[in-house]
A and B are shown apart, each in its own frame.
Chain A
């Protein structure tokens, strides 16, 4: 149950939480104490409240040990006095809604248990996403239950006592703030600074407010669309121009610093889905039809990880490279336009060392006949995007692989416009709606000065953050799962509703409610949204709209094609730097915190960054070459491996180098850019980075945040001097002498030549379809299935083939069991579809009540993720002493494999982990005593042990045991009631989402019984149900990892059904079992990865690096 705020309430950040300590420090209180207890007053000086409580708790505990302590804690069950309609206790309901993001509305279906939203899924009615969601949507349900969110609305009480200014927040009614706002707005001069939104409701309300004279400005912490308006100006469009890629049609893609499948670009879900569908290899011959990705990037992104050819290039040189490439395209397309070719060639001189790469790439793009596409990152300037538009036109891609459209939202005033209005004295009341502008602009806007010029400041925000600290009032903003709204997707072709799953938990208001109140509209937000939807001429009823969650209506207009030749000829300026330029810093949104809004989200903090595998921190990523340079300048910095006996023979370098006793110790440096702006941050050597690029992420290191994110990472916003310039030249990097310990979940970089992820080039696979089974130790030994080798999959999964083994081993099959397993569950993971986005990690966490453990415990190797994403680097240069610069990245999602002959089962002394008749390796938490032998014996290391009471205890006080604080009860509301919450001392692991399996089985059985009852009139024991009746149809059950996956990389189903998708995938020649030689016979198998490099390219290698690593190790004599 929710603990309604006690009076000391809003126990979140230190600034607004009146603890007893705070009281004790105030002079009034001290005076009172001294008057009241003249002798005891000093008690408060030395004894902390907490330590006093601890001491007392210990003695109470001892006193209670005798008799009184032996009772079970009392719980109250509150039954419904009046049962809500459509609610069956124990059966979840699902509602369509959407998550508002800076990249449009993300259509969702949300699972609700007795009124509590617990799990977020994508809405398959929106076709481009196909029912997938991104990692932030998955994690956003935790924000609803964030104990540190603004639990109500507040008024600031600023007190200056003895030179110390302390800020306290007093709780007041949100309605009273809103009515105050109305009073102020009636006297005029109101300005609203809001985050950008795709809300149609907001758009209309803004119009109304603007009519009333309200100044409306928009601002996003990380601006990913500012170039759209500039582009529009050049392309003669009134509205901002947007490129919507249609990657499904593309067979050759060049990505220019564009992480189009990662968190840096909007629409990444649709991009991942459509691009990866072009990499599906159902038959060996398909591999020749695979699309090909060229990636030119400064950062090492997951998109670059998928790339077939990857060129490391500094962001500031992207335009130069684009010109170099453009010249090559122009040479083929318009031979006579020599002036323009010359212009492009001249501009491309800065990157001429990559001429060969660009030339062959250009040739390949051209050869695809309009099925090619160039994409540019949103941090690149409008001119770059203009050239990309031009070149896409030349390639014949417009309307085929990309459509340029004008989007319906007109550009609003920006922050700078607002600031000048304030400076002109045109604003009395400033309302900050959403976002966190004060924090994001700390580097270039003087908020102190602004606060002098504005009379009233009101913050409407989700938590009390930096922007709230600037304001006098804070209206708690409702979570989207508590609000009504209506908006558009990124491509502006679908209208999506936001409907609340739960009434606001606290006294909070949604932005629509606030704007309604401001505009004097007395409608409730629901009525307003309904009338707005109906007014927009929809052909379906509002109710149907809410059921479906998507209404197709195209709000975009096609852009009129422009010939840019003369424009480019005249206007292109050589603003591009060359190879000898200084270091640059590239600022990207942080993986964990996004723009800062997810910083207090434990799931996001603990989800390892897909590439660096860092948790709870960000780092300044630098290239190995730069590390070398720094090392020579500062010999004591300690960034690079010291050669050891072992790493001269193997590739053990990185962990021996960077990890001291398992802890990654990173030197902290001060990085400064022009304008005296600097930050201090730890360094992390990242292979695959452009030599001169330093990557810093925006969003971490916030000061005014909750208990989860308060120590996470460093803040890079102070480097910004203009909001949309995210590539800056570096003035200096110098170590400050201190070190920071970083929590990295994967110490080791290389696969050590082991056949774990098996990869081949498309060419090779088309010729040798059995390459995957010809790798690994098992390829040297007799087949583990022995004489049963050629039996079909259904046989192998329903029996435990003995092969030629003369040893008996226990038969887990259903023939021997009293109950028959009519399904045989299995999973296939297509490594060729995995981008590494990590959404599955958080989806699994959300579905299965997986706790977070905190940075300290991650450092100790105790993270609890059931699904983890392994990342391996492989490289052509294999010198154990050196960190390679050019690497290939391979990802592998690993969860419990549900082995047929599971090594964990045979070693558990208490039968806590057993095989069920449907092939699941079941874990009986109640039976587990925690010997951890199963985890040791698991070759895949997927078992997770509850070293502490993660769920019960505050993660900062784990070591205080029963004397530590209990966890806040709010996040417990988000737990999935179908999954046990595990206590300390027990082992846990992936269950294939057994709760979903059981639910589906029950549903199918109930249906079959009902049908049989109708057909025969029999009931109860007389009902005879055939196996076919109670078999769950293929595709009904989707584990959380499969459901979230945008690229459809996971298949789950019944192996005893030869037509199920998973059976078909397992009959694919690429199918292999990891560590198959152990004869564990895992139910999860992998489909080998296929890369599609261009043989003409200078960096072509006839096999992926990891394959060559394997080959060199397995056949050392073949050199």
Chain B
């Protein structure tokens, strides 16, 4: 076997001398040569400092907005689903659109914490905690809609396989039933993953705490973490296992959400492209939301050294890639509709672009396909306000994507006699707007009381953690 040359045999191929490649320098993940202490002070400082005035204003505002959802739901449950704009044929209106929108947003958090962890993408460390928090809160917001959109919410527990005297089980063939399992698993794993990752950091805050309530509060939360070696060994193994467990969830949850549509037989829904297309869209929207949240955080708390331009670049590139995938999916849908030679299908897609909801379709295309193309340009990626604005577009576009999918198909299906039109009511709008308040309330509480970044993990990717240099020269 001596004839086979391995790569190590030619670690320095001769050609290298000729072409003289520029040395590859990893950009530091924490800029300005900050040390460990600075990181601890920075992150813990946010929690320990006096509550900023802006936080209070934001919190009160968010609470007020969140109350819209509360009031909307009270009205809905006391009066009937009719207070929303749903009708026959559009039996699912904004509720399901909002559900898919919020659940999609969650995906970036899981992708960053799990998939990037397994792929050893070290840059993830400074953004994964906040993104995971985003995931958990987004899933909570998402959960509201499928729960409350049902006609008799007081019986919604029938969707769970609980033994009962009637011996009736849920119907396991229904994608909605799959949703119950997919989303509840996802929520459970995300919360576990998020919380477990926080334990070492909570212990740090506990150790630094001066007030008694803090000692107890963080003491309980950190579950007796002592930074012991075997704590770390167990922690890292558990972290890896949860990362492994979460990785398929990134794909499965939105795949199953897409089954809500793809398993139905309606033209425009009944397509095999939906699972990959939905997953790409979810990651796309999630990264959009990560940008939307992190850029303001970064400047509010002066985290520029931790969330660097390199991070923003990376997120922008992922957004560009997934946005383009989504665009590809849009065009492929048209191709298949034509190629499939099914007149109902082809009508459904022509109708999407030019029919009664044409405006929604073109909002979707311009936000999701056109606007991320700007990320090809470095100048734009470096223009933080512009990046933030584009990220908002991504959020808007992805909401419209779900709106277009859900409503164009339902409003124009098989029999023209039952075609209808759907418009949301004030209650729809306020209930949805309120979830942004609800999300903000949770997120504000998070940044106020919990460590915004995994200090230990950030420190691990700093040059100081590797004093001897792990890289060959």
Contact = CB atoms under 8 A, between A and B. Distances in A.
Closest 9 CB pairs of A and B: A930-B151, A985-B151, A662-B421, A961-B79, A947-B82, A861-B87, A870-B417, A932-B91, A941-B418
A935 B341 CA distance: 26
B265 A1078 contact: yes
A1075 B414 contact: yes
17 contacts: A650-B350, A747-B419, A747-B421, A748-B417, A860-B87, A908-B171, A928-B152, A932-B91, A933-B174, A933-B260, A937-B264, A940-B418, A947-B80, A961-B78, A984-B151, A986-B151, A1075-B415
A939 interface: yes
Given A754-B415, A1078-B265, 12 more contacts: A646-B350, A777-B342, A780-B341, A909-B176, A911-B169, A931-B176, A932-B91, A941-B413, A941-B415, A947-B86, A958-B82, A961-B83
A103 interface: no
A747 B150 CA distance: 27
B416 interface: yes
A930 B351 contact: no
Given A748-B416, A910-B159, A1113-B343, A661 B423 contact: yes
B459 interface: no
A961 B80 contact: yes
A909 B156 CA distance: 10
B347 interface: yes
Contact of A857 (B82, B152, B347, B421): B82
User: How extensive is the interface on chain B, given as a class?
Assistant: 35 or more
B82 A948 contact: yes
Contact of A984 (B80, B89, B180, B422): B80
B92 A932 contact: yes
Contacts of B415: 754, 756, 870, 894, 939-941, 1074-1075
Contacts of A1053: none
Nearest to A871: B417
Nearest to B416: A748
B413 A646 contact: no
Interface stretch (A368-376, A559-567, A651-659): A651-659
A1113 B347 CA distance: 11
Q: Which of A656, A932, A945, A987 has the most CB of B within 10 A?
A: A932
Interface in A740-785: 746-754, 756, 777, 780
Interface in A843-871: 857, 860-863, 868, 870-871
A872 interface: yes
Interface string B324-357: 0000000000000000011110010011001110
Interface in B134-162: 149-153, 155-156, 158-159
B416 A909 contact: no
A537 B430 CA distance: 75
Interface of B: 75, 78-83, 85-92, 149-153, 155-156, 158-159, 168-171, 173-177, 180, 260, 263-266, 341-344, 347, 350-351, 354-356, 410, 413-423
Nearest to B175: A907
B171 A936 contact: no
Nearest to A892: B417
Contacts of A943: 88
Contacts of B80: 946-949, 958, 961, 984-985
B265 A862 contact: no
Task: Classify the interface of chain A: helix, strand, loop or mixed.
Answer: loop
Contacts of B82: 857, 860, 862, 947-948, 958-959, 984
A861 B89 contact: yes
Contacts of B88: 861-863, 935, 941, 943-945
A946 B91 CA distance: 11
Contacts of A944: 88
Contacts of A906: 171, 173-174
A872 to B, nearest CB: 7
Interface residues of A, number: 77
B77 to A, nearest CB: 9
Given A872-B417, A935-B91, A985-B80, A929 B355 contact: no
B78 A946 contact: no
A645 interface: yes
A931 B158 contact: no
B171 A909 contact: yes
A50 interface: no
A909 B180 CA distance: 9
A1114 interface: yes
B410 A985 contact: no
Contacts of B355: 646, 652
Contacts of A871: 417
A751 B416 contact: yes
Interface string A203-229: 000000000000000000000000000
A903 interface: yes
A275 B410 CA distance: 40
A1038 B149 CA distance: 37
Q: Which of A911, A962, A1074 has the most CB of B within 10 A?
A: A911
Task: Classify the interface of chain B: helix, strand, loop or mixed.
Answer: loop
Contact of A946 (B151, B175, B410): B151
Nearest to B267: A939
A945 B91 contact: yes
Contact of B266 (A655, A937, A960, A984): A937
B159 A909 contact: yes
Given A748-B419, A929-B152, A930-B150, A862 B91 contact: no
A908 B263 CA distance: 12
Contacts of A909: 159, 170-171, 174, 176-177, 180
B174 A908 contact: yes
A1024 interface: no
A941 B350 CA distance: 21
Given A936-B264, A985-B81, A986-B152, A907 B174 contact: yes
Nearest to B261: A936
A1003 interface: no
A940 B266 CA distance: 11
B429 to A, nearest CB: 15
A927 interface: yes
Given A927-B158, A929-B156, A752 B347 contact: yes
B445 to A, nearest CB: 29
Contacts of A936: 89, 91-92, 264, 266, 410
Contacts of A752: 347, 416
Contact of A753 (B155, B168, B343): B343
A930 B78 CA distance: 15
Contact of A907 (B87, B149, B263): B263
Nearest to A933: B176
A927 B152 CA distance: 10
Contacts of B175: 907, 933
Nearest to B75: A961
A750 to B, nearest CB: 7
A809 B430 CA distance: 43
A929 B155 contact: yes
A355 B171 CA distance: 67
B168 to A, nearest CB: 6
Contacts of A946: 80, 151
Nearest to B180: A909
Nearest to A748: B416
A752 B79 CA distance: 38
A746 B180 CA distance: 36
A483 to B, nearest CB: 40
Nearest to B78: A961
A949 B81 CA distance: 10
B417 A894 contact: yes
Interface in A968-1001: 983-987
A936 B86 CA distance: 11
